[in-house]
Amino acid sequence: MFLIAGQPDKALKILVEHGPASKLIEVARKLKRTDADKLRLCANILQSNGLNSHAFETYTKLGDFRSVLLLHMELCQWDDAFAIKKLHPEIEEDVSLAYADWLVQNDRFEDAIVAYKQATRPELAKRLLKQLMRNAAKEKRSKDTAYYCWRIALESLSEWCETDRDHTAEEEKTAQEFMLSSEHAEIYYAYSFIDQSINEPFQTSQPETLFNIARFLLARVPKQMPYGVSLVNILVTLAKHSEQLGCYKIARHAYERLQALRVPSSWVDKIEVATLALRACSSPSEISKSHLEVPVCCRCTSPLPLFSCTSEDACSVCSQKVIRSFMTFDQLPLVEFVLERDITHQYVAQHLQANVSRSKSGANGHIVQSGTAGCRNSASRDDAAVQDDSFLARRLLIPSSESKPGPVRVDLATFNRMEKESIMIQYLFNDQKVPHYFYVVDPSVSLHLCPLCNHFFELEEWDLAILNEGSCPFCRGSGLC
């Protein structure tokens, strides 16, 4: 009656006290825009009673687009909220940040990380990655832990690249965090194979692979083990597969180290029996019957120890680093070299690109890609050419009695004699401006370099991983050249 009589004020007073709230929309439509307080009261009551469409109408009549935006955010109508924010940029509320928080609450973590970056809050994205990494480590999901460690390393790298490079304490801390996260990512990734072989009923990795992984980890794990990485599991894996492969000396050494560690009670008897059996059956003559070939340095051909207590996976004679495949962790036939000052990277890139152009138009229709694209293929070459290149590589890269330990130094004459198809270029994340050069000393092996994480793979292993998983097994990137 008050509405019919044109007295919306009295009608509003009665409806506020006694309801129903659905009648308030009629009052709101009768009120003038100048009655801001009464319109806002109507809108608040409508919103609290779930009449959101009428609340939107009242807020719009009032011109309160901030309340419209907040109501869209409360209802998780994010497309409408972003549209309002775009039309009214003067509104201070950060829609992107609220949207990112909502994504986290709904377990859409990858989208949340992107949203945090769009909201110019990269520190929150990094904090979320660290929380995901800790959760994965607690749940013993080693591959996921490695992936999140890698993502954290990339975030630290991004922060480091955005600094002014004035060598401040904050910059050094960021660089150290990048290196530590990268190292932990490699450790967790390698450990995932050992964890799978111990805790899952079916073993998918070959004994040689697990043997190489255990050696790789023992050469890299720091004194303070990363959370979730068990030194006992690594040594048990090394001892078990060393015995299978006939490397009894390594197996005995692994069992001796286990004696000083806290081993699960269910394993104690098994380890003691295995230790006694190994002592009883192993002899110097049996040690020589190892199923593994003794690895040699790709540069100086000196034998490499199958087991080393040092934290450097390198040759003890020439200090050449051992480059491993990140699928089987086998040693790859790669030798790192550096160019003399009279050779520029532009000169190298020009020659490699010219070699790619010649290869694409070569005979038999084979396409051979150079190391600049991350692939090194030897499919179109005959055995005689492969043997000649291998002999040339040995002559060019083998150290002389006067050479110093470290990477091979290559002058212009040596570079011109090198087979350009065997050169691969790697750009490390912590030194993006300086390329690192590698030479394939065994041209019969086809290699691939992931352009995203800069890890080497054998080409067959890489193709299999792309077919099975659709991405790089380490960084989960597409890995397209």
- pLDDT value at position 131? 95
Q: How many domains does the chain have?
A: 2
In whole angstroms, give the CA distance from residue 161 to residue 155. 10
Domain boundary pick from 51, 74, 93: 93
147 lies in a domain?
no
Residue 232, both tokens: 């006992």
364 lies in a domain?
yes
406 lies in a domain?
yes
217 lies in a domain?
no
Q: Are 424 and 451 in contact (CB under 8 A)?
A: no
309 lies in a domain?
no
Instruction: Tell which residue, 310, 240, 316, 238, has the closest CA to residue 278.
Output: 240
Map 228-285 to HEC letters.
CCCHHHHHHHHHHHHHHCCCHHHHHHHHHHHCCCCCCHHHHHHHHHHHHHHHHHCCHH
Q: Are 124 and 100 in contact (CB under 8 A)?
A: yes
291 lies in a domain?
no
- pLDDT value at position 44? 66
Domain boundary pick from 41, 65, 93: 93
Residue 335, both tokens: 């030798």
Q: Taking the alpha carbons of 70, 72, 77, 80 in that order, is the dihedral positive or negative?
A: negative
Residues 6+ apart with CB under 8 A from 160: 171, 174, 175, 178
Domain of 26, in residue numbers: 8-93
Q: Give the angle subtended at the CA of 417 by the CAs of 427 and 444, to the nearest 5°.
A: 70
Give the count of beta carbons closer than 10 Å to the beta carbon of residue 460: 12
In whole angstroms, give the CA distance from residue 219 to residue 190. 12
- pLDDT value at position 479? 60
53 lies in a domain?
yes
Tens place of pLDDT for every residue, the chain, 481 residues? 444 444 444 455 455 444 555 566 666 666 666 656 666 666 666 666 666 666 766 676 766 777 778 887 888 888 888 888 888 888 777 888 999 999 999 999 999 999 998 888 889 999 999 999 999 999 999 999 999 999 999 888 887 777 655 556 777 787 788 889 999 999 999 999 999 998 887 778 888 999 999 988 988 877 778 899 999 999 999 999 888 888 888 888 888 888 888 888 888 888 888 888 887 765 544 444 555 667 888 888 787 776 665 556 778 778 788 889 999 999 999 988 888 888 888 888 888 877 766 655 554 433 334 444 456 554 444 554 545 555 455 555 555 555 566 678 888 888 888 888 888 888 876 555 678 889 888 888 899 999 888 899 999 999 998 998 888 999 998 765 4
- pLDDT value at position 291? 59
19 lies in a domain?
yes
Instruction: Tell which residue, 355, 357, 363, has the closest CA to residue 380.
Output: 363
Give the count of beta carbons closer than 10 Å to the beta carbon of residue 246: 17
